[in-house]
Amino acid sequence: MRSTRVWITICLCLFAVTITASSQAIRKPGLWEMTTNMTWQKSPMPAGMNMPAGMKSPFSGMTTTTQVCLTQAMIDKYGAPMSQNQRDCKVEDVVMHTSSMTADLICNGKMNGKGEIQSTWSGGNTAIGKMHFAGTMQMGQNATPVEWTVNSTSTYKGPDCGSVAPMPMPQN
């Protein structure tokens, strides 16, 4: 269960940082606050498994809010912050438009599958995104089908990231 939570967190972070993608003319470097809501169409939780009383399953849907520091270097190179912690997943086929972007999330490893990423923005202060992922997740010795959708809203907070450090740029 712990490794599943780690993978979910990695995927949510990857989605959150990808969702801020935009063109240089519109995207503003600085602090962005992102709220994501994840819903499961196929949960990796075994059928019939119940959570202890008072504990919510991590597969029943969750909303998280994070802050990301978007640098000009990230905008210039990727259009969005990109983490080195992507492990077995990578973003491919990024297509940038004036007020939107699309990309694929390809995972090969403990999680296998493909996600479609979409982001749209109005002006330079708000972005709305969606990612739909379908594939399998390694659960012990078995590969379990998974499918989820993440909807996200990000809001520009200002040019100063304060104590939020930018993610390191990936090495090529």
Q: Which amino acid is at 96?
A: M
Report in angstroms the alpha-carbon separations of 6 from 12, 75, 121. Answer: 10, 27, 29
Task: List pLDDT tens digits, range 1-13.
Answer: 545 544 454 454 4
Task: List pLDDT tens digits, range 30-89.
Answer: 998 989 899 989 887 765 555 455 555 556 678 899 998 988 877 665 555 555 445 788
As a whole number of Å, the end-to-end CA separation of the chain is: 32
Starting at the edge strand found earlier in the chain, the sheet holding 126-139 runs: 62-70, 30-42, 142-158, 126-139, 111-122, 100-107, 89-96
Is the pLDDT at 25 greater than 60? The verdict is no
Confirm whether pTM is higher than 0.75: no
Task: List pLDDT tens digits, range 92-148.
Answer: 888 877 778 888 889 998 889 999 988 887 777 888 889 999 999 988 888 999 999
Task: List pLDDT tens digits, range 162-172.
Answer: 999 987 765 44
Neighbours of 71 (CB within 10 A): 15
Give the model's confidence band at 159: pLDDT under 50 very low, under 70 low, under 90 confident, else very high.
very high
Alpha helices (runs of H) in the chain, residue ranges in sequence order = 2-18, 72-77
- Report helix, strand or coil for 55: coil
Given this model, what pLDDT does residue 94 score? 81
